[in-house]
Amino acid sequence: MSKRARALFLGLFSPMILCLVAGGAIAEEATWNSLNMPEGVTEVSQAAYDIHMIMIWICTVIGVAVFGFMFYVMFAHRKSKGVTPANFHENLTVEILWTIVPALILIVMAVPATTALLKVYDTENPDIDIKVTGYQWKWQYEYIGEGVKFMSELRTPQDEIYGRAPKGEHYLREVTEPLVIPTNKKVRFLITGNDVIHSWWVPDFAVKRDAIPGLFTAAWAKTDQAGIYVGECTELCGKGHAFMPIVVEVKEEAEYDQWLAAKKEEAVIYQSTIGKEWTDAELMAKGESVYAISCAGCHQAKGEGIPGVFPGLVDSSIVTGPVEDHIGILINGVAGSAMQSFADQLSEVDIAAVIHYKRNSWGNEMGDTVQPIDILNYKQTQ
């Protein structure tokens, strides 16, 4: 290689080497070891892992054979060694051979592939049914027949995402409320979408099913290993696609039963909070947290909005207008815009608090109080 070429070579490669070294130094707690598919904790995930490994080994063997031969040829049959090229260009026997042999390998592979798929589809006779609904950009879990239903959304603060605060250990892997299931019970997930298509994926269960509005798909999981398993939305669903993780907590059966009982009780208590008279301070505190989770994504942290995309809330005609109209916007959404209906997603308390908060923050000084009961009344009388 000429001197010039060597200089060019070095010039181009050295920044890359530097970058790699620097990158390695920055990433002190290296995560290089996560190279392969997790084996997971269910029969299905084990089956998926096994067939994955079978495929990898088959491909490795074929690859080593083909490329090994190729590298031998590249080494042995180069012109610089003074070889004279042969002139053959056909051989029916080998052509037939290398059509049939791969076909046979495929037939052999089809067997475990089919068995594994049958396991994925074995959704019959579940012990527990949970409806999973994908929203832009959160998940709702409903324990069918138990009267327990809640939203699960990202808990990582915007500040961490935008680098204004150090990222926590569970960055983008933490939710407001995880899905809880018991060990040793067959749980069936009925998966659907509320707005656009999402996809519910928990790698450790090998459950990935698209959440399609108007359609239901089913998947199942049964594990004997209690623990916390994290998953992701895997179908592009808009700007929050990367920000709607899934956290599943698998509890021992007894613990699960306790949790479920508490959850049912909570639902009852929650009903009673609506009737209560909330103070300004309580509403402001509650409203601030609701706002940060449900509103700040679009309207921004201080209600400034994004001009031309999401309206600001400071001095806006809705926020400074009649309370009824403001409530109406949250309950009904605004057709044809990103403003959706929050009637189902937020409780009456949450809606009241967040409206109260908006009307009395960032220089908005409406001074009126919005109570949960107002929301309930609005829903009922309208």
Partner 1 sequence: MENTTSHRNILIKSLLGAVVMFMFAIFVLPPLYDLFCEITGIGGKTGDAYTATEVAVDTTREVEVQFVATNNATMPWEFYPVEHKVVVHPGEQKEIVFYAKNLTGMDMVGQAIPNVLPNNAADYFLKTECFCFNNQPLAAGDDAELAVVFIIDPDLPASVNTVTLSYTIFDITDREAMQVSQLQ
Partner 2 sequence: MAHGPSESFFSRWLFSTNHKDIGTLYLWFSFAMFLLGGAFAMVIRAELFQPGMQLIEPEFFNQMTTMHGLVMVFGAIMPAFVGLANWMIPMMIGAPDMALPRMNNLSFWILPFAFAILVATLFMEGGGPNFGWTFYAPLSTTYAPDTVNYFIFGVHIMGASSIMGSINIIATVINMRAPGMTYMKMPLFVWTWVITAFLLVAVMPVLAGAVTMMLMDINFGTSFFDAAGGGDPVLFQHVFWFFGHPEVYIIILPAFGVVSQIIPTFSRKPLFGYSSMVYATASIAFLSFIVWAHHMFTVGMPIAGELYFMYATMLIAVPTGVKVFNWVTTMYKGALTFETPMLFSIAFVILFTFGGFTGMMLSIAAADTQYHDTYFVVAHFHYVMVAGAVFSGTAAVYYWLPKWCGRMYDETMGKVQFWIAFIAFNITFMPQHFLGLAGMPRRYADYGLQFADWNMVSSVGAFMYGGAQLLFLFNVIRTIGWGKPIDDPKVWEGAEGLEWTLPTPAPFHTFSTPPVLK
Site residues (vs partner 1, CB under 8 A): 123-126, 129, 131, 133, 142, 144-145, 190, 192, 194-195, 212-216, 218, 328, 331-333, 335, 340-341, 343-344, 379-382
Do residues 369 and 280 lie in contact, with contact meaning Cβ atoms separated by under 8 Å? yes
Contact partner at residue 344 from partner 2, partner 1, none, CB < 5 to 8 Å by partner kind: partner 1
Find the shortest distance in angstroms from Cβ 60 to partner 2.
Answer: 9
Give CA–CA dist 219/261, Å, rounded.
Answer: 25
Q: Which of residues 288-317 bind partner 2 (CB under 8 A)?
A: 308-309
Tokens in use for 219?
Answer: 């998947």
How many beta carbons lie within 10 A of that of residue 356, not counting itself?
26
Q: Which residue has the tokens 């009922």?
A: 380
Of 238, 231, 156, 158, residue with least CA distance to 196: 238
Q: Contacts with partner 2 in 81-110 (CB under 8 A)?
A: 83-91, 94-95, 98-99, 102-103, 106, 109-110
CA 40 – CA 247 distance, rounded (Å):
15
Tell me whether residue 98 or residue 270 sits nearer to partner 2 (CB atom). Answer: 98
Window contacting partner 2 (CB under 8 A); options: 176-184, 199-207, 320-328, 350-358: 199-207
Q: One symbol per residue from 33 to 62: x for binding partner 2 (CB under 8 A), - otherwise; what is it?
A: -xxxxx-----xx-xx--xx--xx--x--x
3-state secondary structure 151-181: EECECCCHHHHCCCCCCCCCCCCCECCCEEE
Stretch that binds partner 2, among 214-222, 251-259, 275-283, 354-362 (CB under 8 A): 214-222
- What is residue 306's DSSP assignment? B
Structure tokens at 290: 């609701």
Tell me the closest approach of the beta carbon of residue 228 to partner 2, in angstroms.
14
Residue number, 44 or 179, with CB nearest to partner 2: 44
Residue linked to tokens 């056909």: 90
